[in-house]
Amino acid sequence: MSPVVKLKKPSANRRRLGKVNVPKVTLAHGGGGKAMRDLIDDVFVSVFDNDTLAPLEDQARFELANLAQLGDRLAFTTDSYVVHPLEFPGGDIGKIAVCGTVNDLAVGGAKPLYLSCSVIIEEGVEVETLRKIAASMAKAARQAGVEIVTGDTKVVDKGACDKLFINTAGIGMIREGLTLGADLAQPGDAILVNGLLGDHGATILNARGDMALSTPIESDCASLNDLIDEMIEAAPNLRFIRDATRGGVATVLNEIALASDVGIEIIENQVPIREEVKGFCEILGLDPLYLANEGKLVCVVPQAEADAILRAMHAHPLGEGSAAIGHVIENRPGRVVMQTVFGGQRIVDMLVGEQLPRIC
């Protein structure tokens, strides 16, 4: 678990937090006055509670000397989350916001440390819904070993957004001497994933109720930084890691092929996909390689270190289903090709457009 830098001792004189006494958010909660302060205190500050956030300044402040002890480069990322529905089997928009930002830092070799949380709330949203989502964010942050230290709250007219949008930014420190990148793949390298693919995309589409299916699928939403720590330890020459979110594994593989000017070959019967997801995709005419994931990564590693990293991944709860799905080749630079179960080949292109709506 990534360490959290502690900047100062807990204050003995914490102020009394405000409380919201109405069931739904109103425009007054975005007006900058007492109603807004009460909403921020009640919903967010009470559960994100930490010493860096407590002063509620317009910025979080850090000791550079403490950060420098964890690495020699700062990693900074941001993302916005607009998933519908807000809650779904295996997670909610708050959990995704934390896990997604933690993962964007971790796949670059950084130890995630701090997150921001900015929310755009539609007038009329139930305050209890906000409390549940904020509590989910706080839990996900604790599990990932990060702190939510600053943020912003806006309330917009009914109809101006769909209930709740969340933006998170994150910072972390990259380990000294570690460089990962999509342009570093070399012929002969192995391509690995950490488990079953497509669960999140299938879950969201199912949860929307558009197809009225009863298939029991849950999102794989999870923070991968602890798993990635184990992977880096096991394979010091690891080339590349990326979480396979929008566009799925197929898009990540195409990004590698283009950036490194190499070909990539994957083996269909080695790609781990849940039978329920395969059936779901067959019914709807979808390709699971393009389905979104929120707890799955793709990595490229020298063949000599493939067995060692697979053992480390299998030993971790988030990597029990890890598999080698293919390798990097010299032929067909910029192309991804799948060896099918029928003995033929098919080109796996990058996703054009959006296969599923509002998956993160």
Residues 145 and 193 in one domain: no
Indicate the pLDDT class of residue 355, thresholds 50, 70 and 90: low
Taking the CA of residue 6 as centre, how many other CA atoms within 13 Å lie in the half-sphere pointing to its CB? 4
Residues 159 and 189 in one domain: no
Q: What is the CATH number of the domain that holds 241?
A: 3.90.650.10
| Whole-angstrom distance, CA of residue 92 vs CA of residue 282 | 26
Number of domains in the chain: 2
Is 196 in the same domain as 308? Answer: yes
H helices, E strands: number in the chain: 10, 13
pLDDT score at 360: 76
Strand 336-339, strand 345-347: pairing: antiparallel
Q: Where does the pLDDT of residue 10 fall: very low under 50, low under 70, confident under 90, or very high at 90 and above?
A: very low
Q: Looking at the structure, tell me whether residues 186 and 165 fall in a common domain.
A: no
How high does pLDDT run on average in the chain? 93
In a domain, 38, yes or no: yes
CA distance 210 to 207: 8
Provide the domain limits for residue 43: 27-174
Which pTM was predicted? 0.93
One domain, residues 193 and 125:
no
- Say if 9 falls within a structural domain: no
Q: Any idea of the CA torsion for 141, 146, 149, 152, to the nearest 10 degrees?
A: -40
Domain identity same for 160 and 216: no
Which residue type, as a one-letter code, is found at position 76? F
Q: At what angle do helices 93-106 and 127-144 cross, to 10 degrees?
A: 30
Residue 2 has pLDDT above 60, yes or no: no
Residue with the larger pLDDT of the pair 318 and 12 = 318
* 198 and 73 in a common domain: no
Under a CB-based contact definition with an 8 Å cutoff, are residues 117 and 107 in contact?
no
Element of type H or E holding 337:
strand 336-339
Final residue belonging to a domain, choices 154, 174, 194: 174
194 lies in the same domain as 305: yes
One domain for residues 123 and 217: no
Tens digit of pLDDT for each residue in 131-185?
999 999 999 999 999 999 999 999 999 999 999 999 999 999 999 999 999 999 9
Report pLDDT digits (tens) over 254-272. Answer: 999 999 999 999 999 999 9
Mean pLDDT of 70-74: 95
> Among the three residues 146, 174, 202, which one is the final residue of a domain in this structure?
174
81 has a pLDDT exceeding 80: yes
* CA pair distance 219, 277, nearest whole angstrom: 11
Is residue 237 located within the same domain as residue 329?
yes
Domain limit, last residue, from 148, 174, 200: 174
Residue among 46, 359, 325, 302 at smallest CA distance from 195: 325
Beta bridge partner(s), residue 117:
151
| pLDDT in the model for residue 357 | 58
For residue 155, list its beta bridge partners: 121
Q: How is 68-123 classified by DSSP, letter by letter?
A: HTT-SEEEEEEEEE--SSSEETTEEHHHHHHHHHHHHHHTTTEEEEEEEEEEEEET
Q: Are the C-beta atoms of residues 246 and 320 closer than 8 Å to each other?
A: no
> pLDDT tens across 22-71, in order?
999 999 999 999 999 999 999 999 999 999 998 889 999 999 999 999 99
Q: What Rg value do the Cα atoms of the chain yield, rounded?
A: 21
pLDDT tops 80 at residue 8: no
In degrees, rounded to 5, the angle at the alpha carbon of residue 71 between the alpha carbons of residues 66 and 72 is: 105
Instruction: Specify if 18 maps to a domain.
Output: no
Look at residue 15 and tell me if it is in a domain.
Answer: no
Looking at the structure, do residues 166 and 212 belong to the same domain, yes or no? no
